[in-house]
Amino acid sequence: MKVLDFAMKMEADGKAYYEKLATDSDDKELKNLFTLLAQAEQTHYDALLARKEEVAFAMVESNVLDQAKNIFQRLLEMKSHGPFRVDTDGYRHAIKAEEQSIGYYQDSAEKEQNPEVRRLLQTLADEEKIHLNIVENIYEFVESPKFFLAWREFSNLKEL
């Protein structure tokens, strides 16, 4: 299977998956998050399409990808993710999907014999790490009001 074709399919399926989550979500912020992730997947798809037009990458074949199944395709085939009980479930769900995507690309890169393909797969993993970092930062920002820091050094201050 051609690496770029598989990666493009994975990005297209990722976009469809995030669009489905955005449609299914009742929370405005989660809708925005999933919509942004879908747009990022489309951006990756477009970049891969442009790269595919370069002859060297368009012809690269990989046996590793024949044995793998697209993560987002599996998620789409599964029964509904169910309603998110709390808003943060949606964020955790997105984090899990990004972690699986990173793991897939890294595992494929480790098994790949062709250095060009390995480099491409590692680049895709790095892009997914950026997605993961963004989602984790948003999640941390959303969760931070639930936690506060009571420093012991300031606990003895009395109101004036």
Q: What is the pLDDT of residues 41-81, one digit of tens each?
A: 898 888 888 877 764 554 455 554 554 555 555 555 554 55
Stretches in the chain below the pLDDT threshold 70? 1, 54-88, 145-160
**Whole-prediction pTM:** 0.66
Going along the chain from its start, the domains and CATH numbers come out as 3-144 (1.20.1260.10)
- One-letter identity of residue 97: A
pLDDT of residue 62: 55
Question: DSSP code of 80?
Answer: P
3 close to 57: Cβ distance less than 8 angstroms: yes
Contacting residues for 71 by C-beta, under 8 A, at least 6 apart: 10, 97, 100, 101, 104
